[in-house]
Structure 1
Amino acid sequence: MRNRFAFQPRYFLFWLVFFVITKAAFLLYHFAKTAALPPGSVARIFGYGLRLDASATAYLSIVPFVLFLLGSALPSRFFPRRLLLFYSAVVGVVVCCLSVADLELYRAWGFRLDATPLQYLNSPGEMAASAGSAPLLVLAGVLAGLLLLGWWLYQKLVGPIPELPPQFGLGRAMLASLLYLALLIVPLRGGVQQIPINQSDVYFSALPFANHAALNVPWNVANSLLLTDGGPNPYQFMPDSVATGLVGQLYTPARPQPDTTRLLRTTRPNVLFIILESFTGKFVESIGGEPAVTPNLDSLARTGVLFTNIYAAGDRSQKGLVALLSGYPSQPTTSIIKYPRKTEGLPHLCRSLEQVGYKSRYYYGGELAFANMKSYLVAAGYDQFTERADFPRSQQNSKWGAHDHVLFDRVLQDLNAQPTPFFVTAFTLSSHEPFETPIPRKFQGTDETALFRNSVYYTDWALGRFLHAARQQPWWDNTLVVVVADHGHTLPGNDPNESPRKFRIPLVLAGGALRPEAQGRVIRHVGSQTDIAATLLTQLQLPTTEYTWSHDLLQPLRQPFAFYCFSDGFGMTTSAGTVSYDNIARRIITGDSTVTKEQLRQGQAYEQVSFDEFLHK
C-alpha cells in the first residue's frame, strides 16, 4: 500500500519523468539533427536539461502541494482529491499541446517555443494558414500518444491518494506537507547557487540544436511571458559609453559622393513600395541564387538599380515591416510592433512623405491584424487600407486571403485613379506557408522546398504581370518602384537559424522615374533592410535625421555592415565575413576566419544600444 506522504515526491517524479519523455520525443522528431550530433551529446542533453526540467516540475507542483497542505488540515471527506486530479489533467493537456506545437515550430523557426506565437492570437485564420504545411496527422498522433502515456504514467507513479494513517494527527500531517512544499525552493531556483537558473545553464555545446534540445518548453514559454519590456537590458556587454562609441564608429561615412548618387529625374516621384513575402536571395539569380525561379525580378534588376548584398534585420514579417518602413532594428526575442505605445514614436516613410504632400495607401491580401501590424500602420498615417475583407469572397482564394495576382490587379485598378504624388505599399502573401499556387507548378516535386520554390515563382509571375501592365499607365514615367523582401528563409538548404544565407534578400529600385544612366547599376557593398528608408528619403531630398539607425546605401560607410538578429542571438556581416553570436550561451556560434574580434564587439555594441533604446521608447 502506498504511503500517503509519498504523494508529493511521487507527483514531483511524475512531472520530471514526463518532461524527460517530451525531450526524447523532440529528439526523435528531429532525428536527422539528433543523429548528426557528436557522440555523447544526447546523454548530455538529458543531463544538462534535467535542472531546467526540475525547475519546471517544481513550478507545476506548487499548486498541488499547497492543495495537499490545505487538505491535510481538513477531515478526510473534505480532502480536494478531485481538484488535484482536475488541475493535473488540465496542466497535462496544456504541456502536451505546447510540446507538440514546439516540434513543428522548431523545424520552421529554428528556436524552441516561447511567447512569440501569442503575437498571432488575434488572427487565428493566419495561424491556421501558417500551419498548412505541417504534418497534422503525425502531430495529432504524437499528441494522442503523449496524452495516453501521461495518463498511464500518472496512474503508475501517483495514483489515488491514500487516507491519513490513524495514528497520524492533522498537525503532523500539515508539518510533513509543509516540509515538502518548502523543499520545492531548491529545484525552483535550479539549485542552491546565488543566481536562479536560466536558459544559459543548460547550454553546453557549440551546436545550437544540442543546446535548444536541452531546454524545457513550458519553462521557456513561461519565462518569455514574464519578461517585461522595461528592462534591465539583458544584452549588457560593455559600459554604455563604450557601446555608444562603437555604434557611432559604425556609421562613419567613407566619403561623400554627391555627384554620382542621384538616381531620379525628379524629387517628387510617385513611390510604389512592394514587399515580397519570404523572398530569399537563394532563389534570385541576379544576386547569385538559383536560376529561373524569379525571371521577372531578375529582368527588373537589369533595368533598375540592383543591390546584391542586402540582409534582412530579422526573421519574421512584423520585424521586416518595421525595418523597411521605419529603418528600425529588430529585437532578438520580441518585436517592437507588439507595443503600440512604442511604435507610435517611430519615424515612418508614410509620415515623412505625407508632410510633403504625398497621398498613401496600403495593400495586403490577408488580415492586417496579424501580428499586431495594423496598429503600427494606422499610427503611420496611411490614408486608406485594403485588406482581406475588402476583396470579394470569390477572390479570397488562398488560405491567407487573396492571392498575389488578385492583390496586384487591385493595386493596378486603384492606381489609375490615385491622386499624385502617391506612396503606395503592397505586401504579398502567397509565398508564405503553406505555399499555395493558383497556377500550374513550374518545378517538379512535392516536398516543402519544391512547394516553396513554386510559390516564389508564382509571386514573381504575378509581379511580372503587374509590371507589364503598369508600364502602360500614365503614372509610370513618374514612379519609383522599390521591390524588396520582408525577410529570407531557411529553405532551400535548411540553413541554420544564424546563417547569413537565411537573411540575404533582394533589393531593386526601378520604374520610369529613374534617370537613364542609373539603369543597370549594381551596388555590391553590404547593407541592411534598415538602410532603405534613409536611401529613399535622400533621393527625394528629404531629411533623414529621425532615422538614426538608417544610412544612405549610396553613400558607403567606412566599413559597410549589416546587423541581423534571431532568437536569441545576432549576426554581424561585413565585407570581411560574418560572425554570429548566441546571447544565452554567451559564445560565438560561427565566425569566418577573416572576421576580427572587433567585429564581434561591434555587433554586441549594436545589440546593446539598439535594445536599450527599445526598452526606453
Structure 2
Amino acid sequence: MNKYRSLYNTTLSLISNLLLVMGCFILCRIVFLAENYNAFTELTGGRLWKMFGGGFMFDTSAILYTNLLYIFLMLLPLHYKEKGIYQKITKGIFVATNLIAIIANLVDTVYFQYTHRRTTASIVSEFKNEDNLGGIFGTELLNHWYLTVLVVLFAYALYKLYRKPPVAKIYNFPLYYLTHVLTLGIGIYLCIGGMRGGFTGMVRPITISNANQYVDRPIETGIVLNTPFSIYRTIGKTPFAVPEYFDREKLEALYTPVHLPADTVQFRPLNVVVFILESFGKENSGFLNEELDNGTYKGFTPFLDSLMAEGLTFKYSFSNGMKSIDGMPSVLSGIPMFIEPFFLTPASLNTISSVGGELKKKGYYTAFFHGADNGSMGFEAFARTVGYTNYFGRTEYNEANPGNKDFDGHWGIWDEKFFQFFADKLSTFQQPFATALFSLSSHHPFAVPTEYEGAFPKGNVAIRQCIGYTDHALKLFFDKVSKEPWFDNTLFVFTADHTNSPERPEYQTECGLFSVPVVFYQHGSNLKGYVKDAIAQQIDIMPTVLSHLGYDAPYISFGCDLLTTSPEDTYAVNYINGVYQFFKGDYLLQFDGKRATGVFAFKTDKLLEHNLLGQLSQQSAMEDELKAIIQQYMTRMNGDGLVVTK
C-alpha cells in the first residue's frame, strides 16, 4: 500500500486540514453566539440546529474561498509538490490565510454588538476616513482579552494539528500524473459547487441574503453567516453611497417613501393573491397593444387580457428591475433595484416589510409559492424575511404529490400543475390570507409539456408558446378558484418580474425593456376601468393593495397609491447600466447620478429617438424629484430605514 501513497497522500492531507478549519469555524460560531446571546430571543434547540445547519453551507463556501490557493497547490499535478520545502510553503499559506479568516470571525463577535449584522466589504469605505481605529481596536482587545487568547489557541491548533503529507517516493510517473490530473478535476468541480452553495444550474451562488431562510428574525442571520463569507460575497458590490443633493428639510418636502393612512380609513379584511409571472412582458398582451398591426394584434395572453378588461390596468406600466431577483422586492416590498440587485447587497439584511408583512400584523395567514427547488433564487429567504410565514416550493409539492412526474427537467414544477396545487392550498387556508406566487415555466429553454406541443401560438420568438401555456394555466386556476366561497372576497394582482425576448423595436428601448403589465382584479368590485394615460410600476403594488383594503398603519414603500394619486402625479423609476430612469407625465428623464443625460417624450417618441435635454420646463422639477428618491433610497438602505419605527 505504501508503494502507492504518492497517489493519494496530499489529497488526504488536504481533506483533513479543511475539516480542521471547519471545526474552527464551528467553534467561532459558538463563541459568537455566547458573546451575543442577549441579542437574540427564544433560541430553542430546534431553531439553533437549523441555524447551525444553514451555517455549514456558508462556512463551506467561505473555507473554499479562503483556501483556493492552498487547495490548488495541494492538488497541482506536479511531482515537485512531494518535496519537503514545497509542503512547508503550503503549510505556511494554510495557517496564515485561515488564521486571518478566524480573526475576522472573532473581531465580528464584538463588532456585531454595534452593527447587528455581519461585517461586509463595505467596511473599507465605511472607515476609510477614520484615524482613530488603532486606539479603538486596542481598547477592545483589552476589554475582550479572552478573544485574543482564543486567537492564539486557534493559531496553535492550525499549526500543530495540521496534517503534513509524508514524503512519498513515486514509482510510476504516468500513473501519478493521471491520478493527480483526475483529482484536480474533481477538486475543481467540488470547489465550484461548494462556493456556489449547490451544484445544479437552478441554484444561484448563495449570498448573504440566503441566510434569512434559516431564521425567524433578520438579526439572527448573524448566527448563520460568517464574516469571511460576508466580505467575499460583497467585494465588488458597490456600497450605496448617499448623495447630498438636498438638506433633510428639503428632501422630506420633495419626496418621502413613508405612507401615512388617512384618518377616515376603515380596514376591510380582503384576501390578497399576488401573481408574479415570469417574463410576462407587456409585449405579450393584446389588450395593452391594441394599436399594433393596425388593430389586429392578438397577443399571447387571452385569459390575462380578459381579466384586464374587467379589472384595473394601466397603459404605461413598468418593472423596477431587469431580473427575477429584482422583481420580488419591487412587487412585494416596494423596493426598486438601484445599482445592484437588492438580494445581493448588504441592505438585504435590513428589517423589511411587504404586503404580507403588513397584513400579518392584522392577523392574516401569509404564504409564498414558487415551484422551483426550495431556496432557489433566494426567494424563500426573502419571503421569510418580509413576513410570509410559510413557503411552498417543489419540496412541498412533491410531499403532496408523491411519485409525480411534473418536474419540467430544468427549473421546477410545470405551471399548470403548480397553479392547481396553489388553488387547492388556498382553499385550506384560514381567512383572511395574503399569498404570492412566482411562476416559472415561461423561462429558457422555453419548453411546454408534451401534451401541449403546438397548442399555443409560437410567434417569432421561442418564449411565446410558454407565455401562452402559463396564461392557460392561469385560466385553469381561475376556473377552479372562482367556485370557492372566498373568491369574491379576494383581490388578485398580476404583474411580471421583468421582460424577456423583446421583438418589436419599441419594446427594445430603455422604455420598452421595462414595460410589464400591472393589473388589479376583484370580482364584482369597483376596480374597473382602463386608465389610459396613467403611469404605474411594480413598487406601486404594495401601497395600492393596502389602500384598497383601507390599511390603517404607516409603512414604507418607494411607490405610490394608484387609487388616490392623480394620473399626472404617478411615476416610475428604474436603473439600467449606470443610468437612473424617471417616468412622469409625458416624459422620461435619464440621469447618471450627477446630471441629466436625456429627456424623451416616451408616449409619442416610442423609439426614444429625439432627446429633448434642456428643452423642457418640466426637466428641473423631474430632476429634483428623482434626486430626492435616490437620496431617500440610499439613506434608508445604509441606515436600515425600510420600516416605520415608533
Q: Is this a same-fold pair by TM over 0.5? A: yes
Q: How far 1:336 sits from its partner (Å)?
A: 4.5
- The residue aligned with 1:526 is 535
Q: How does 1:241-256 map to 2 (within 5 A)?
A: 241=248, 244-245=251-252, 247-248=254-255
CA contact (8 A) 2:325 2:341 kept: no
Q: How far 1:607 sits from its partner (Å)?
A: 2.0
- The residue aligned with 2:163 is none
| Paired residue secondary structure (1:526) | strand
Q: How does 1:140-219 map to 2 (within 5 A)?
A: none
CA contact (8 A) 2:492 2:522 kept: yes
**Paired residue for 1:335, among 335, 342, 351?**
342
Distance 1:337 1:500 in 2: 25
Distance 2:195 2:551 in 1: 35
Q: How far 1:125 sits from its partner (Å)?
A: 3.0
CA contact (8 A) 2:311 2:521 kept: yes
Are 1:538 and 2:557 an aligned pair? no
Distance 2:247 2:499 in 1: 32
AA in 2 matched with 1:364: H
AA in 1 matched with 2:571: F
Deviations 1:354-394 (A, max 9, x none): 22221122111113423322222112333322101223351
Distance 1:496 1:325 in 2: 25
Distance 1:363 1:391 in 2: 10
Are 1:386 and 2:392 an aligned pair? yes
Q: How far 1:128 sits from its partner (Å)?
A: 7.6
AA in 1 matched with 2:583: T
Are 1:296 and 2:303 an aligned pair? yes
Are 1:608 and 2:631 an aligned pair? yes
- The residue aligned with 1:433 is 444
Distance 1:452 1:120 in 2: 32
Distance 2:629 2:411 in 1: 35
Distance 2:194 2:500 in 1: 20
Are 1:599 and 2:622 an aligned pair? yes
CA contact (8 A) 2:259 2:557 kept: no
Q: How does 1:47-62 map to 2 (within 5 A)?
A: none
AA in 2 matched with 1:284: S
CA contact (8 A) 1:361 1:385 kept: yes
Distance 1:576 1:331 in 2: 23
**Paired residue for 2:565, among 550, 556, 571?**
556
Count of paired positions? 407
**Paired residue for 1:307, among 289, 314, 331?**
314
CA contact (8 A) 1:337 1:372 kept: no
Q: TM-score, normalised by structure 2?
A: 0.55
Q: 1:334 to 1:498 in 2, by over 3 A?
A: farther
Q: TM-score, normalised by structure 1?
A: 0.57
Q: How does 1:227-246 map to 2 (within 5 A)?
A: 227=236, 231=239, 233-234=240-241, 236=243, 238-241=245-248, 244-245=251-252
CA contact (8 A) 2:587 2:599 kept: no
* Percent sequence identity over aligned pairs: 21
Q: 1:122 to 1:577 in 2, by over 3 A?
A: farther
**Paired residue for 1:569, among 573, 579, 591?**
579
Distance 1:240 1:294 in 2: 47
Q: 1:569 to 1:423 in 2, by over 3 A?
A: same
Q: 1:223 to 1:421 in 2, by over 3 A?
A: closer
CA contact (8 A) 2:335 2:558 kept: yes
AA in 2 matched with 1:342: L
Q: How does 1:48-197 map to 2 (within 5 A)?
A: 121-122=196-197, 124-127=199-202
Distance 1:311 1:120 in 2: 35
Q: How far 1:402 sits from its partner (Å)?
A: 0.4
Runs of 5+ in structure 2 lacking a partner? Answer: 1-68, 70-82, 90-191, 206-230, 399-403, 601-610, 641-646
Q: How far 1:576 sits from its partner (Å)?
A: 2.2
AA in 1 matched with 2:502: L
Distance 1:338 1:124 in 2: 23
| Paired residue secondary structure (1:543) | coil
**Paired residue for 1:361, among 367, 370, 380?**
367
Deviations 1:390-409 (A, max 9, x none): 23351112410101101111
Q: 1:413 to 1:307 in 2, by over 3 A?
A: same
Higher mean C-alpha displacement, 286-295 vs 393-402: 286-295
Distance 2:307 2:348 in 1: 39
Q: How far 1:242 sits from its partner (Å)?
A: 7.9
Deviations 1:191-215 (A, max 9, x none): xxxxxxxxxxxxxxxxxxxxxxxxx
Q: How does 1:33-52 map to 2 (within 5 A)?
A: none
AA in 2 matched with 1:457: G
CA contact (8 A) 1:278 1:485 kept: yes
Q: How does 1:438-449 map to 2 (within 5 A)?
A: 438=449, 439-441=452-454, 442-444=456-458
Distance 1:119 1:452 in 2: 32
**Paired residue for 2:381, among 370, 375, 380?**
375
- The residue aligned with 1:506 is 517
AA in 2 matched with 1:278: S
